Structures are given as structure tokens and as C-alpha cells.
Amino acid sequence: MPLLNVTGLSVTLSTADGAARAVRDMNFSLEKGETLGIVGESGCGKSITALALMGLLPERSETTGKIEFNGENLLQKPETEMCALRGNRMAMIFQEPMTSLNPVHTIGRQVMEPLRLHKNMTRAEAKAEAVRLLDRVGIPNPQERLGNYPHQLSGGQRQRVMIAMALSCSPDILIADEPTTALDVTIQDQILELIQSLVREEDMALILISHDLGVISENTDRIMVMYGGAAVETGPTETFFEALSHPYSQGLFAAMPKLGMGRTSRLMTIPGVVPDLINLPSGCTFTDRCPLATAECRNSAPPLRQLTAGHNVACYHLDKARTMKAEGLFA
Amino acid sequence: MNSSTSLSFLARCRRSRSFMVGGVMTGFLLVCAAVSLFWTPGSAYDISIANRFLPPSSTHWLGTDQFGRDIVSMLMTGTQNSIAVAVVAVSIGLAVGVSLGLLAAARRGWTEELIMRFSDFSFAFPAILSAIMITAILGPGGVNSILAIGLYNIPVFARLVRGTANAIWTREFVMAARASGKDRFRITFEHIMPNILSIIIVQATILFAIAILAEAALSYLGLGTQPPHPSWGRMLNEAQALMFLDPWQAIYPGIAIATAVFGLNLLGDGLRDVLDPRLSRKR
Ligand SMILES: Nc1ncnc2c1ncn2[C@@H]1O[C@H](COP(=O)(O)OP(=O)(O)O)[C@@H](O)[C@H]1O
Ligand SMILES: [Mg+2]
């Protein structure tokens, strides 16, 4: 039995302009200790997927499908049981370390809280554990830092504190939603490495979400590319980068900063914008931006098809995409 | 306090002129009220026809009224009355209104809808008018006027708290707190409350001023504090007929009411600066 098994997950958000189909028919599973990267441009439904897993979607939303975690369907769990899971068996790190800590409470209090809440630790026990955790995530002088307020810490340090909080109860799964996007480039790698080493140490499963294929490439076992609220390509990270089958995956790859690339060279971006989730086009949602699109793509959405073991792609024109890859689809 | 400025709380108090002036005015009234509990220069109650309309003297600092009662003593006892009414009325508003506002923000959905429609309904009437309506239903008297003013304060607090709490609920640290497994009640007390406290305090100060004004108005209309207990509003009412004979009878309680309202508003303004420097800079 996998740790996490998501089947047919769909999320519809009601907005002022209408129903936005933010996530459509997602299927994936995650074993204990496995790391999955979810990648896609901004607005593809990555965060909504993560929030659905945590049961933290906005009130005005509808979720269908199944999210089985340790064999239990989270979508059928009452809120009190979800509270007991969150921060305890499943934890999440957010994009904005500058605003993810409560400005009126000390660092110490905030790191101690999950321990007091889920592990029933006494104040003294929680304090000792908080010092150990802060030290583990690389905060210098953790003892003194306990009394600091968030505004006294840098962005990188705050993200370290967030990581300490998320990992305090040794969850089975950690969801990191763009954990380094808001940080200085020089700190990004340190934070990713920290997450990576902690996850390995504790044999935790990790879902790492990023709009940057580069971040995902170095830190995951498997990868899932999302576009317009649905998965368009998924597979083992190595296979994925060898194949780069879906035109959108190729676009993301072309848009990724690469080693040895001069500072001045401009990054390619995929022309066009992500689809409007309220008025989704029929057929493949990437049609409008895809150089290979044909009438067939417009008429019906291609299903995910297996190419090799565990490697699935949703595209009608895989052969053409493969032959054109060398010269660059978006060149 | 979570100020990003390095100024300490006390230093910020001292730097805010509104806080200092408002604080002194409010403090003065508090002292008058407290002293009147066990000492007044004359009697605020004893009627003495022989001593009617006495001019200011060493025994009667501001003279006496048409019944020969000592005006300073009446003003002091009136202060105590105004403050007592306002404290109870604002406390009612705070206790019920803040709870309703927090509940609305935490539960959303129909709970919020219901609470807000109730607030809209009571908001349709101005403070004094709703107080008059309530005392008209409950009957005149001190306790009923407290209830009336308190009831008026409930939707004011409920609305303010619901609005600011909703804004805090959308903040990322609340999402992070939810992700760490806290339920709505815990989040309300640990994350929402501390972040809206300063706004509540400022609003309570302003509503305190409105409550004093409302109490004076109700008593002026004969719906509030009943004789023989002195109140600023009744003093105004009794002075009205004597406007041309002895205008000072109206001026003294008028000054008292103005001092209270002005002082408390200044204090509220100053508290805004002192408690939340980020708010004051934006204005
Ligand atoms: N609270 C919300 N209410 C309504 N729509 C939302 C909300 N949050 C996100 N969305 C919409 O859902 C879509 C997917 O958003 P999101 O999952 O945040 O994208 P990503 O994380 O991939 O950038 C976007 O179109 C966004 O506008
Ligand atoms: Mg996102």
C-alpha cells in the first residue's frame, strides 16, 4: 500500500467570475521516502493540488476523487481528524517565509507549538526540542533565537524556522510549495539541500512544487508536469529528462536556466499565457501555445498514455515532438 | 509590541501628542470620578432653597444650582455616573460584539451571514436613536440606558472585528498555522485575537466617548439616569429653562461632556499611533 494514493482528484473553485476548474482528474501515488516534483507555470493548479492534499482549500470549493493517506480517504475525514494529521503526519512549507510566521509571537513559541499540540510535550521538553530543531536547520545560537520575533530574522532564516516547524513532529510526508521562490538565489540551494537531507534522514516522502524545472531536476525521484490543472507528463525524473516527450515539457526545459549559460543571454519563454481555468478550451489545454497543435488537439483532450514503465504523456503528436526536439520546438 | 521601529512602547507614548493630551484629559476625569466616590467638596444631593444660585465661593467653587446643590459635587458625581455607564456599556459591546465578530470570521458561511445581517439591521439606526428606541421599549432608567448603549455597541464591535479578523484569516501565517494542525478556535485565540487587539482597543476608546455622549443625551431626554442621582445630561436639561437667568448652569456640564468626548477621541487617536505604528504611518 503506497503512503499516498491520489485518484481522480478534481477541484473546482467558485470565484466571482464563475467556476474555475483548478485541478482536473489527477492521479498519482507516493511511497514512503519517495520524492515527487510537481512543475508547471504559475497558475497551473500546483498550490491548489497541495492545499487539497492538506484539506486546506478555500471554503467555496468542491473536491472530488480520492486522497488515500496511509489507506484512509482524507476527503471523508472530519475536520477534527484532519487537524490531528496536519502538522503531525503531513506538513507543508509555503512560498513566503516573510509572512508565514505570526509577527506577534516569538520564534520559540511558534516552533514549540506543534510539539505541544501533537506530541503533548511539556513546555520544557518542547523548548529543548525546539533548540535541537533550530540547530538542525542551521540557525546559529538557537537558544537565543527562541526569544526573537520573526522580523528580527532574514528571509532564509525564517524559511529555516518554517522547515523546523514543519518537520518538528517527523511527518510521513512533507509538501514544499515553492519553498525557495521568494528567496535570494544564493540561499535557494542551501535551503533545497537542507530539505533534501532532512527528508532523507527521516525517510519522509516529499512533494516539491516549483515553477522551475531546474529546482525539481536535482531534488526528486519522480516528476509530474502540470498544465491547465492537469498532469500532462509524469515519470521517473531521469527518464523524464531523457525523453522530454510533451511539447510543454520541452518548453519548460528550454525556459530553464542552464549551467554555463552567460548571465546576459536571455531566457526563452513559451509564447502565450496559461489557459483561463473558468473557460477551459475543449481538447488539449496547451493547443493555443503548441507549435504542433492540429484540429485533433482542439477536438478532444489526449489521455495520458504510458510510454515506458511509469512514464506517461498526454499528447497526440509524440513522434513529431521527438523529431523536432533537437532543433527546439520553440526556437 | 511588534513594532519594526526601535522606539520602545513608552517612548512612543511620550512622542504622541494626542496620546499625552487625551490621556491627561481622560485621567483627570477618572480622578474626579474616583475622588467623588468618597469625597466631594459639597453635597450633590442636598436641596437647600436658601442656597439657590449662589455665585462661586470658597465653599461652592462653581456656585450652586436652582435647588442649592453644589455644582462641583454634582459634576464630580456625574463623572462617576458617566464613566460607570460607559464602562458597563462598552464591556457589553466588547464581550458580545467581539465574540460574534470572531465567530463570524472563523465559521464563515451562514453563521457569518446571520451575524452580519443582524448587525446591518441594528446599524440602520444612529446611536442615539437606537438608544432612545430601546429605552422606550424597556422603560427609562439608568440600567436600561446602559443596556441600550451596550446593545448599540454590539454590532459596531461585531462588524469591526469580523472585517479585520477576515483580513487576518487570509494572511499566510494563518494558513501556516492551519497546516500545523490548529483548529479554528485555537487559531482565533492564538493568531487572530493578538493581531486585532490594538484595533479593538482603539475602537473601544472611541465607543467609550460615544457611550458618554449617549448617556448624557438619554439623561437629557429623561430616559437615562433618574433623579436624584446627578448626571451631566440631566444637569443640562435642568439648566435649559434657566439659559438666560444663569447660562453657567449649562456651560459647566457642557464643558464636562466636551472634555470627556474630546479627551477620549484624542486618546483613541494617540493609542492608534502608540499600539500600531504601521497603521498611523499610513494615515
Ligand atoms: N483562493 C482562491 N480563490 C479562487 N481562485 C483561486 C484561489 N487560489 C488560486 N486560485 C486560482 O486557481 C488557479 C490555480 O492556482 P494555483 O494552484 O495557485 O497555481 P500555481 O500554484 O500552479 O501557481 C489559478 O487560476 C488561480 O487564479
Ligand atoms: Mg503556487
Please name which of B88, B100, B46 lies closest in space to residue B71, comparing C-alpha atoms: B46
Taking the C-alpha atoms of residue B216 and residue B78, their distance in angstroms, rounded to an integer, is 10
- B197: its cell numbers: 487587539
What SS3 state is found at A141? coil
Domains of chain B and any CATH numbers: 3-36+80-282 (1.10.3720.10)
Query: In terms of pLDDT, which residue wins out, A284 or B47?
Result: A284
- Residue A255's contacts (CB-CB under 8 Å, 6 or more residues apart) are A213, A267, A268, A269, A270
In-domain check, residue A225? no
Across the range A124-130, mean pLDDT stands at 96
Instruction: State how far the alpha carbon of A331 is from the alpha carbons of A219, A226, A241, A254, B244, in Å.
Output: 28, 22, 19, 9, 94
Is A27 inside a domain boundary? Answer: no
Task: Tell me how long chain A is.
Answer: 331
- Coil, helix or strand for A88? coil
Q: What is the DSSP string of B25-62?
A: HHHHHHHHHHHHTT--SS-SS---GGGTTPPP-SSSTT
Burial class from Cβ neighbours inside 10 Å (0-12, 13-18, 19+) for residue A34 reads buried
Please tell me the distance between residue A62's alpha carbon and the centre of ligand 1 in angstroms.
14
The pLDDT score that the predictor gives to residue A265 is 59
Contacts of A111 (CB under 8 A, 6+ apart): A130, A133, A134, A146, A161, A164, A165, A168
Ranking A14-28, A215-229, B91-105, B122-136 by mean pLDDT, the lowest is B122-136
Residue whose CA is closest, atom 24 of ligand 1? A43
Nearest to A25 by CA among A232, A310, A176: A232
DSSP state of A59: S
DSSP class of B171: S
Residue A256's domain comprises 244-331
Buried b (16+ CB within 10 A) or exposed e, B83-115: bebbebbbebbbebbbbbbbbbbbbeeeebeeb
Q: Collect all residues of chain A within an 8 Å Cβ-Cβ radius of residue B171.
A: 99
Q: Which of A49, A74, A77, A44 is nearest to A61 (CA)?
A: A49
Cell, residue B47: 436641596
Distance, in Å, from the CA atom of A167 to the CA atom of A130, rounded to the nearest integer, reads 11
Cβ pair B88, B150 in contact under 8 A: yes
Q: Is residue A329 part of a domain?
A: yes
- B2–A149: do the CB atoms touch at under 8 Å? yes
Instruction: State how many domains chain A has.
Output: 1
* Pairs of residues, one from chain A and one from chain B, whose beta carbons lie less than 8 Å apart: 72
Mean pLDDT confidence for A138-163 = 93
Would you state the pLDDT for residue B281?
45
Find the mean pLDDT for residues A180-192.
Answer: 89
This model of the complex carries an ipTM of 0.90
pLDDT digits (tens, 9 = 90+) for A243-300: 899 999 999 998 887 766 655 556 678 888 888 899 888 899 999 999 998 999 999 9
The secondary element (H helix, E strand) that includes residue B210 is helix B193-220
Minimum distance, in Å, between the CA of residue B182 and any CA atom of chain A: 6
Of residues A309, A221, B264, the one with CA closest to residue A208: A221
Spatial separation of the C-alpha atoms in residues B149 and A186, rounded to whole Å = 59
pLDDT value of position B6? 55
Mean pLDDT of B63-73: 86
Asked if residue A17 belongs to a domain, the reply is no
Q: Is residue A301 part of a domain?
A: yes
Question: What whole-number distance in Å separates Cα of residue B46 and Cα of residue A254?
Answer: 94
**Mutual angle of helices B232-240 and B71-92, in 10-degree steps:** 130
A32-88 per-position pLDDT tens digit: 999 999 999 999 999 999 999 999 999 889 999 999 999 999 999 999 999 999 999
Q: Say whether pLDDT at B86 is over 90.
A: yes
Q: Which atom of ligand 1 is nearest to the CA of A23?
A: 14
Q: Give residues with Cβ within 8 angstroms of B162, minimum separation 6.
A: B100, B101, B102, B104, B105, B112, B115, B116
Ligand 1 atom at shortest distance from the alpha carbon of A276: 25
Pocket test for ligand 1, best of A15, A17, A47 (most atoms within 8 A of CB): A47
Residue A266 lies inside a defined structural domain of this protein: yes
Q: Mean of the per-residue pLDDT values for chain B?
A: 87
User: pLDDT tens digits for A215-249?
Assistant: 898 889 999 999 999 999 999 999 999 989 999 99
**A235: in domain:** no
Is residue A25 pLDDT above 90, yes or no? yes
B277 has a pLDDT exceeding 70: no
For residue B113, give how far its alpha carbon lies from the nearest alpha carbon of chain A (Å): 14
Q: Which residues neighbour A149 within 8 Å (Cβ) at sequence distance 6 or greater?
A: A103, A104, A105, A106, A107, B2
Cα separation, B156 vs B142, whole angstroms: 22
- What is the distance of C-alpha A326 from the center of its chain? 29
Please list every residue in chain B whose beta carbon sits closer than 8 Å to the beta carbon of residue A151: 2, 4
Residue A19's H or E segment, with its range, is: strand A18-30
pLDDT at B114 over 90: yes
User: How many Å lie between the centroid of ligand 2 and the Cα of residue B167?
Assistant: 20
Cα-Cα-Cα-Cα dihedral sign, residues B108, B113, B114, B117: positive
For position A267, what pLDDT does the model report? 67
Closest ligand (CA of B175): 1
CA distance B221 to B231: 12
Contact state of A104 with B194 under an 8 Å Cβ cutoff: yes
For chain B, list residues whose CB is within 8 angstroms of any CB belonging to chain A.
2, 4, 108-109, 171-173, 175-183, 186, 190-191, 194-195
**Closest-CA distance of chain A to residue B1, Å:** 7
C-alpha cell at A100: 508565514
Percent share of chain A, pLDDT over 90: 76
The pLDDT of residue B272 is above 90: no
How confident is the model at residue B2, as a pLDDT? 45
Fill in the DSSP letter of residue A76. Answer: G
The answer on pLDDT for A326 being more than 70 is: yes
Q: Which residues contact B6 (CB under 8 A, 6 or more apart)?
A: none
State phi, psi for A290 to the nearest 5 degrees: -95, 125
Per-residue confidence band for B247, with pLDDT thresholds at 50, 70 and 90: confident
- Tell me the average pLDDT across B212-226: 90
Q: Least CB-CB distance to A83: which of B173, B176, B182?
A: B182
Distance from CA of B251 to the nearest CA of A (A): 46
With respect to residue A260, please indicate whether it lies within any of the assigned structural domains. yes
Cβ contact, residue pair A99, B172, below 8 Å: yes
Please give all residues whose beta carbon lies within 6 A of any atom in ligand 1, as ranges. A 13, 15, 20, 22, 40, 42-48, 58, 277
Nearest to A102 among B108, B173, B178 (CB): B173
Can you tell me the mean pLDDT for A181-200?
Answer: 91
Residue B4 has pLDDT above 60, yes or no: no
Distance CA B25, CA A85 (A): 54
Lowest-confidence segment of A9-23, A226-240, B52-66, B139-153 by average pLDDT: B52-66
For the whole model, what pTM was predicted?
0.85
| Residue contact A151–B4, C-beta within 8 A | yes
Put residue A209 in one of left, alpha, beta given phi > 0 → left and psi -120 to 50 → alpha.
beta
C-alpha cell at A289: 501555445
